[in-house]
Structure 1
Amino acid sequence: MSNHYGTGTPVALGASLQRPAALLQLPRHGGRWKETRQVSLLDTWSESDSCIAGLLHIARIFSFSCFVHRAQIAPFVRSLIHAGQLPSECWMIPMKSNKRMKTEEAPSIIVPAAALPDEIVTEVLLRLPVKSLLRFRAVCRSWAATISSDAFCALHMAMPEDDGHHTSLAQTKLLAVAPTAAYDATALYSCSPQGPRADLLFTLDDVKGDFVDGVAAPCRGLTLLYDAVAPAYYVVNPSTRAFTRLPPCLDVRHSSVGLAFDARAKEYKVMRLFTKQNDPDMTCEVYTLGAHSWRPAVEGVVPEKLSAAAQFAVLTAATENLPPVLANGSLHWQIEHSLLTRDPAGVAILTFSVTEETFGWVQSPPFGTLGVHLVELGGCLCAVRDLRHASPDDGSNTLEIWKQQDYPAGTWFLDNRIDLPQQHLATSLQNPRVLGALGDGRSMQKIIMATSDHSVHAYHVMSRKLETIIPIADTAISYRRERRAIRICLFKETLVPVHQTPEEILFSSPMGKATKEILLRLPARSVARCKLVCNQWRRFAEDQTFIRSYSAHKSNEKKIKIMLVGKGTGRSFFSFAPLAKWPANKDAWLGSKVVCSKPCHGLNLLSTAKMDYLYNPCTGYHKTKFYPGTLDYGPWDTPNDCWRVPHNAFAVGNKNVGLGFNPVKQEHVAVIILYEFKDFKSRRCGFTCSAWRCTSASFQQHLDPPLPVNDMPPAYVDGVLYWMNDPRLGPCIDHAIVSFDIATEEFYVIPCPPHIAKWNGEESTRRLSVVELWEKLCIVVADVPENKLVIWKLEHGQWNRACTVCLKASSDYSLASNLVMPLAVDPEDGRILLSTGRRVGIYDPVKETIEELYAAGKHRNKLTASRFDWSPCIKSAVPPVPMLYEESLVSYPRRPKQRFLQL
């Protein structure tokens, strides 16, 4: 039976092989076998050629496909020849190139008959880079088992660098972490001084926003990332593109986490130091990669004598973006001396032994911690001191590197000084952090450091020169905001697995994938009920990754979905039902006027005169927004004598509320404008503007819009809320758009097209408002005499006329007696959904007709003595209100999350 490479049959390393066939079929791309290259074998090979011959031959063929450089194998073959382990006839002969190789003469390795032990084959594999080893797993099962074994991973990690590579900047690899352009994922890049290029390794789709805290130094090839938005922890291996999300842990405001390797237990540990709410004791939890959950450390509570130091250490790590430093088998936390003592010499460094899981301390350097950070260099604990902060009056432009001798009780001594050039002081060397050093194991030759402006510099110890080796601004990495957190670190290639959590193993199993596909096809209300089936389905329905996948799956349906909002029962303020299933009874009529927003990332905002409610109409989740008593103006309960609210189906009371989404912090935000008075004669008004954050349920007051806005609700597009101004108030007498960037919390004014911006005073027959259509910002011009709507769309910075809605054929939608707003466009046929607040219909732009979908009944007044239709406090029964919605499972925790988001 033939046993050549083209069959995919497992071959034991070191075992003899039969002569390969004249043509080889080699695997490429993830182990899929197909004919990739036909190679004629040399006639000098005999029947007893060993596995090393086949290995070298496959390596040669793979190198032609850019899989591995034969230069990494050839030196080892020469050493075997000189050592007498291979015959002297073994050498490299030229092989002619062809069009496929597009190179000049390429050498090939010929190995005569020899029976080599497994150790030599392993030595060959150990000299290959990780990228090639991952692809070599597709050769056969035995190779895959060998390369994936723990023993091989340990040997590969222990292999010394090639001669000259330990000090070569060209071989230096750095890992950069940055959000994508839309903040919908976090990307990991590999950077090198060889050129201003950043190679995308992979993306973490679940890490959204822009609050990945400072990246700590990797531990034996693995890197720990902390997503402060979720919050969640990730362990990634950049070399293998593998990552795992650690199990959820106790939600706290401040914590500090470090990754380390336990040399005695041969396992990776993640240590988390934090303070529980209403508990003065500092607690430490440990997670071992591959375990089920976090567990208390052996010394679970910090000793009382170190408790105060530990609290200050965690606070310093959180506020200064200083992760703990691993050195000498312990994690080290720096303590801000001003928080603990006035004597700089009396400050200690908190330590945590990875093996013993106990706390201790070491003496800090003989100076304060201002402008100081810890780092591990050459296996020693070091402290980097920025004299620009420590002694600003001296005008010193120097970084000092202090090293501790005879750890842990030894003294500190000055090891290096880095003189900063004057031209770098103002910009490129703000908040520098030393990442590591290159050397021969006995001394440092180059010191690598990064800055908050996302650039990497190298300091040559011998020549005392500082050079910029990687300007991140010249790469494709999208750092769009200034951050103090350093998101760049050195990394070394390794095959170490990250060990999936039991939850990840469950979700990736065949049963888990089948369960996911079933749940994705169910309505959101049914998925919420499926939580009661079993624990596995409950974990699926509550998993944030599945919730995002569900929203993405439902968004592909591209259907306009309408619900009717009625009076709720029990603990729910409102009831919801699809338009076709609404019960025809008046017991569900509302007790007061309600205005509903368009869906925003799966949620809707329902507003009454006094309250606002955040709802997921599919699952029934809701959150009530209470107005704080500190507001200068509150929501109206009765009309004001200075300004009486006109009848408007899209406005309620004295407020204008818009729901948006902060892509950086990944949370919904409601912006509320409350008016105290409007005087159209003097063009004066009084109003306040505030923002309500849904995650923390907190208010941010004293926002300052540049112009007063009209009564119509705002439009939300890509992280920005837009209002149309009120030309009757304020300094602007023409129409303009007021925008609010939710992430930056800044207002702007956008001019309208000149031919529609002009306001003709109180006698104007045109009404302007903004709306989101086609996922773009649009202006709706209501021309009352012509009874038509003209829609303008902003695209690529230009206003273009999109379409015209003619309402002459439908008296129920006449602009003379109604405010008509387009809500959505059917993606299939281009029909436009119109609403008057009491009626909803689909407009056909070809036939210029409206197909009515819903018409509300008349109000049943409870206070018949009221004569005014404009008053927001009329006690009347209101028919159900139509509302657009999205199928989603989005919700927020009942208790606000303890998040610390620091720039």
Structure 2
Amino acid sequence: MCYNIWLLRDDDAWDLRFRIDLATAAPEVRRFMACHVRPLAFIDGGHRIIFRPSIQSANDSKPVHQLCAYNPTTGAIEELLADGCLIAQPSENGHATTKALVYEESLVSTGRPHEDILFSSASTRALCLALQRLPAAILAKLKLVCRTWRAMIESNRFVKLHNHYARTRRSSPLRVFFPDATTEDRRMESLWHASLKLLERRVVSCKPCHGLLLATSSENNKDVLRVLSPVIDEEITLHFPSGSTTGMGYDEVTEEHVLVTLANAGHGSSAAMECHLWRLKEDMSRIVRSPFPIHVRLDLPPIYVDGKMYWMGDPPPDQDSQSSHSCHGMIMALDIHTESFEVLPVPHADDGCRMLVVELAGRLCVAHPCAHTETMTIWSKNNKPELVDNKCNDEGCEQEWTREHVIELWRWPGFSPKTAAGLIVPVEVDAMGGGQILLDTGSEVGLYDPSEQTMHTVYSLNWPHGEHTDKFVATALWEDSMVPPPPMRCEPERWYRDV
């Protein structure tokens, strides 16, 4: 006679996990198994099984419902309650009045979740569908109507619905604002009359990521980053070590914001690099253990596209120096959920000018501002499921990219790579404005119209008399979002520790 334990696999097939041969088992095992035992759980990495008897043998003087751990490999059985105390007092017919269960620590509530109760009525669900179409500024005022409206508008379910609706059905043109400005100046439609903070070094314009912004500034030669939601005027401040680069992404699987920081683990140009990943719902960061496939440049933050972070980097040291891609760099991608790195090639260009990896209209793009021709060429990544190998040939690399625009920047000296102070970066494509491209130099912001080949200056530090030719300003794109920054559960200065 045998006692078999089967497990159901993910493919709906059964596996025989253990077989206990009672004919060859020890006497105490046979006596225990005769009590109609029931398996409760695997312990010790699946090497032992916890059993609970259901009845007491007529010849057994021990109390009912002792818990025992059995090792199928060695045949050893151990009473977990060796002092003889009862798990459950048996009734007169030998059956338990109370069941013995396996304890597990959990924060899952036994009742209905609060949001399920809040949205249980049909009228509340209908109100939610109507309110999610309104701007976030109006919703902030509607929270004062009553407690029920406030609870619904501040719930995670409503915030996700509103943010998804605002991002997929945007009906207004691009709006640029100064994240370092006051709350009143942030909400001004025009930038020309807003007060702003001038910076000593170039800061790339930041873009919203699923409702939140990561704004960069500098204080006392240290990088200061703020995760903010400008509409509801909430933010958290973080301090990062110098010489690092940080970007914000989003884990599509777990639905949470993530900060990714690259920094040198030591001193010198040959020092190894570390990738610190911080899920904002956690207390501190941790190091991504996957090895770096290439060396990454730390002077610009990464960009986020569809669950991955992208950096512009240098080719591997073992790549042929005569390759046409060796002087242009390569792109390193980090899958936020799996924490694995991959590499993409960049489009081919005949000069040695710098390549920039950017995100435009939700697509991975590469921009190539050329100081020799005073032009900017923009490529977009073709939608292919697989990334290519490091050593792809030129023809295969070119098939990965599509040239979208060639902008003749020499026509506007303030945006020319030869004359403009700072790096020219394409920020976004305005779908509501006929495909206009927002360009940022650090001191000027302009909208380029590809169809008319014209440039509209949105803001300039050099206008009208060039007072701030050696200064920079931080700009950001406005998004109608009610997503709040997560509450800080640790000291902002100590999240980036030696981990």
Q: TM-score range by the shorter chain?
A: 0.5 to 0.7
Picking from 816, 820, 840, the partner of 2:445 is: 840
Q: CA deviation at 1:509?
A: 4.2
Picking from 185, 209, 220, the partner of 1:600 is: 209
Contact 1:792 1:799 survives alignment (8 Å): yes
Q: Could you tell which deviates more after superposition, 887-896 or 612-621?
A: 887-896
- Structure 1 residues 579, 781: closer, same or farther in 2, change over 3 A? farther
**Using the alignment, how far apart are the partners of 2:41 and 2:145 within structure 1?**
49
C-alpha offsets along residues 815-835 of structure 1, whole Å, 9 cap, x if unaligned?
Answer: 113321111112241221111
C-alpha offsets along residues 232-280 of structure 1, whole Å, 9 cap, x if unaligned?
Answer: xxxxxxxxxxxxxxxxxxxxxxxxxxxxxxxxxxxxxxxxxxxxxxxxx
C-alpha offsets along residues 604-663 of structure 1, whole Å, 9 cap, x if unaligned?
Answer: 111233322211122122223345xxxxxxx23xxxxxxxxxxxxxxxxx2222211112
**Using the alignment, how far apart are the partners of 1:362 and 1:893 within structure 2?**
47
Picking from 618, 630, 651, the partner of 2:231 is: 618
Contact 1:776 1:794 survives alignment (8 Å): yes
Picking from 429, 434, 440, the partner of 1:825 is: 429
Match of 1:545 in 2: 157
Does 2:175 match 1:562? Answer: yes
Match of 2:30 in 1: none
Contact 1:605 1:612 survives alignment (8 Å): yes
1:274-289 matches, cutoff 5 A? none
TM-score, reference length from structure 1? 0.38
Give the counterpart letter for 1:696 in structure 2.
Answer: E
Match of 2:346 in 1: 752
**Using the alignment, how far apart are the partners of 2:413 and 2:345 within structure 1?**
33
Match of 1:144 in 2: none
- Structure 1 residues 810, 857: closer, same or farther in 2, change over 3 A? closer
C-alpha offsets along residues 193-212 of structure 1, whole Å, 9 cap, x if unaligned?
Answer: 9xxxxxxxxxxxxxxxxxxx
Match of 1:364 in 2: 67
Q: CA deviation at 1:601?
A: 0.8
1:165-314 matches, cutoff 5 A? none
Picking from 333, 336, 352, the partner of 1:742 is: 336
Match of 2:412 in 1: 810
Picking from 453, 466, 474, the partner of 1:881 is: 474
**Using the alignment, how far apart are the partners of 1:502 and 1:837 within structure 2?**
46
- Structure 1 residues 600, 730: closer, same or farther in 2, change over 3 A? farther
**Using the alignment, how far apart are the partners of 1:192 and 1:787 within structure 2?**
62
Larger Rg: 1
Give the counterpart letter for 1:772 in structure 2.
Answer: E
- Structure 1 residues 688, 334: closer, same or farther in 2, change over 3 A? closer
**Using the alignment, how far apart are the partners of 1:748 and 1:337 within structure 2?**
37
- Structure 1 residues 663, 888: closer, same or farther in 2, change over 3 A? same
Give the counterpart letter for 2:447 in structure 1.
Answer: I
Q: CA deviation at 1:686?
A: 4.9
Contact 2:205 2:427 survives alignment (8 Å): no
**Using the alignment, how far apart are the partners of 1:550 and 1:365 within structure 2?**
53
**Using the alignment, how far apart are the partners of 2:283 and 2:137 within structure 1?**
25
DSSP-derived class of the 2:186 partner? strand
Give the counterpart letter for 1:799 in structure 2.
Answer: W
Match of 1:689 in 2: 275
- Structure 1 residues 576, 657: closer, same or farther in 2, change over 3 A? farther
1:463-542 matches, cutoff 5 A? 504=116, 507=119, 509=121, 511-513=123-125, 515-542=127-154
**Using the alignment, how far apart are the partners of 1:882 and 1:893 within structure 2?**
23
- Structure 1 residues 883, 350: closer, same or farther in 2, change over 3 A? farther
- Structure 1 residues 827, 595: closer, same or farther in 2, change over 3 A? closer
Does 2:259 match 1:670? Answer: yes
- Structure 1 residues 844, 575: closer, same or farther in 2, change over 3 A? same
What is the RMSD of the two structures over their aligned residues, measured on CA atoms?
4.2
Contact 1:562 1:578 survives alignment (8 Å): no
Picking from 882, 890, 893, the partner of 2:483 is: 890
The size of the alignment, in residue pairs, is 386
Contact 1:782 1:815 survives alignment (8 Å): yes
Give the counterpart letter for 2:231 in structure 1.
Answer: C
Match of 1:458 in 2: none
DSSP-derived class of the 1:780 partner? strand
**Using the alignment, how far apart are the partners of 2:75 and 2:187 within structure 1?**
67
**Using the alignment, how far apart are the partners of 2:113 and 2:244 within structure 1?**
48
**Using the alignment, how far apart are the partners of 1:591 and 1:799 within structure 2?**
35
**Using the alignment, how far apart are the partners of 2:245 and 2:184 within structure 1?**
24
**Using the alignment, how far apart are the partners of 2:179 and 2:184 within structure 1?**
5
C-alpha offsets along residues 75-98 of structure 1, whole Å, 9 cap, x if unaligned?
Answer: xxxxxxxxxxxxxxxxxxxxxxxx
**Using the alignment, how far apart are the partners of 2:40 and 2:226 within structure 1?**
44
Picking from 308, 313, 333, the partner of 1:725 is: 313
DSSP-derived class of the 2:161 partner? helix
Does 2:468 match 1:780? Answer: no
**Using the alignment, how far apart are the partners of 1:392 and 1:617 within structure 2?**
65
Match of 2:81 in 1: none
Match of 2:26 in 1: none
1:75-90 matches, cutoff 5 A? none
**Using the alignment, how far apart are the partners of 1:690 and 1:392 within structure 2?**
47
**Using the alignment, how far apart are the partners of 1:685 and 1:505 within structure 2?**
54
Does 2:197 match 1:589? Answer: yes
- Structure 1 residues 718, 614: closer, same or farther in 2, change over 3 A? same
Does 2:300 match 1:712? Answer: yes
**Using the alignment, how far apart are the partners of 2:192 and 2:411 within structure 1?**
30
DSSP-derived class of the 1:767 partner? coil
C-alpha offsets along residues 455-487 of structure 1, whole Å, 9 cap, x if unaligned?
Answer: xxxxxxxxxxxxxxxxxxxxxxxxxxxxxxxxx
**Using the alignment, how far apart are the partners of 1:589 and 1:563 within structure 2?**
15
**Using the alignment, how far apart are the partners of 1:660 and 1:337 within structure 2?**
38
**Using the alignment, how far apart are the partners of 1:658 and 1:692 within structure 2?**
11
Match of 1:408 in 2: 96
**Using the alignment, how far apart are the partners of 2:456 and 2:237 within structure 1?**
36
Give the counterpart letter for 2:363 in structure 1.
Answer: K
Contact 1:793 1:802 survives alignment (8 Å): yes
5+ residue gaps, structure 2 = 1-7, 14-37, 55-63, 77-89, 99-110, 385-399, 491-499
Q: CA deviation at 1:541?
A: 1.2
C-alpha offsets along residues 337-393 of structure 1, whole Å, 9 cap, x if unaligned?
Answer: 79xxxxx99x78699xxxxxxxxx94234515xxxxxxxxxxxxxxxxxx4xx4599
Give the counterpart letter for 2:380 in structure 1.
Answer: K
What percentage of aligned pairs have identical amino acids? 28
DSSP-derived class of the 2:359 partner? strand
- Structure 1 residues 730, 604: closer, same or farther in 2, change over 3 A? farther
C-alpha offsets along residues 169-211 of structure 1, whole Å, 9 cap, x if unaligned?
Answer: xxxxx9x9xxxxxxxxxxxxxx999xxxxxxxxxxxxxxxxxx
Contact 2:427 2:438 survives alignment (8 Å): yes
**Using the alignment, how far apart are the partners of 1:773 and 1:603 within structure 2?**
17
Larger relative contact order (Cα-Cα within 8 Å, sequence gap ≥ 6): 2
**Using the alignment, how far apart are the partners of 2:418 and 2:121 within structure 1?**
61
Picking from 800, 811, 814, the partner of 2:402 is: 800
Contact 2:185 2:194 survives alignment (8 Å): no
1:77-156 matches, cutoff 5 A? none
Contact 2:180 2:474 survives alignment (8 Å): no
Q: CA deviation at 1:699?
A: 0.7
